[in-house]
Structure 1
Amino acid sequence: MSHPQSYELLLIPDHSRTRTGAPGRPIRSAVVAATGQSGASGYPRYTGEGMEADIDPATRTVEAVLIDGEELDPGMSVQVAEGDRRKS
């Protein structure tokens, strides 16, 4: 595989943005590992710790996500952690 084997994902409530507009504190994190499959979005699928996500490895953008098998609630976002614990 040419993409990273794992990422740390952060679940962040949108209302927690800081005064500068940067994302606020995450309420949950999970390390997800590559499954070797592509998701419905066409990007590599990662799973772990109750999260399942399709992630674009070029931009580190979460393209699709399930949290504990459910769609993301309105007002929440998921992003790849800066300085994440991914392993190539």
Structure 2
Amino acid sequence: MTTEPQRFRILLVPEHIVNKGGASVEDSAVRSAVVEATGETGASGYPRYAGDGIVADIDPSTRTVEAVLVDGAELDYGLNARVAS
């Protein structure tokens, strides 16, 4: 039995929004998705999660997105992928 989280909510946030202004990161997201554990390990060495067109390797201990594909492509320049609080 694994103790790693089985699901996360990923937010795609414009880079210029992160840590600026009064808006929360969640309110500033241009897209969000719930991703669930696939049981695989990604190329980054972290567990892979997928759902709603997003595939992400996430470090469950730090909740850091280590790698991400959005609709099969790399993340657009100027966007950050973050795990929702």
Shorter-chain TM band:
0.7 to 0.9
Shift of 1:74: 1.2
Count of residue pairs the alignment pairs up: 81
**Matching residue within 38, 43, 60 for 1:40:** 43
Residue 8 of structure 1 corresponds to which residue in structure 2?
9
TM-score (norm 2): 0.88
Identity percentage of aligned residues: 56
- RMSD between aligned residues: 1.5
TM-score (norm 1): 0.85
Shift of 1:15: 2.0
Name the amino acid aligned to 2:71: D
Alignment of 1:1-88 (within 5 A): 1-17=2-18, 18-19=20-21, 23=25, 25-82=28-85
* Runs of 4+ residues over 4 Å off in structure 1: none
In structure 2, distance between residues paired with 1:72 and 1:51: 10
Q: Secondary structure at the match of 2:16?
A: helix
- Unaligned stretches of 5+ in structure 2? none
- Unaligned stretches of 5+ in structure 1? 83-88
**Greater relative contact order structure (CA < 8 Å, 6+ sep):** 1
Instruction: Write the deviation string for residues 8-54 of structure 1: whole angstroms up to 9, x where unpaired.
Output: 0000011224237x747001000000000100001000000000000
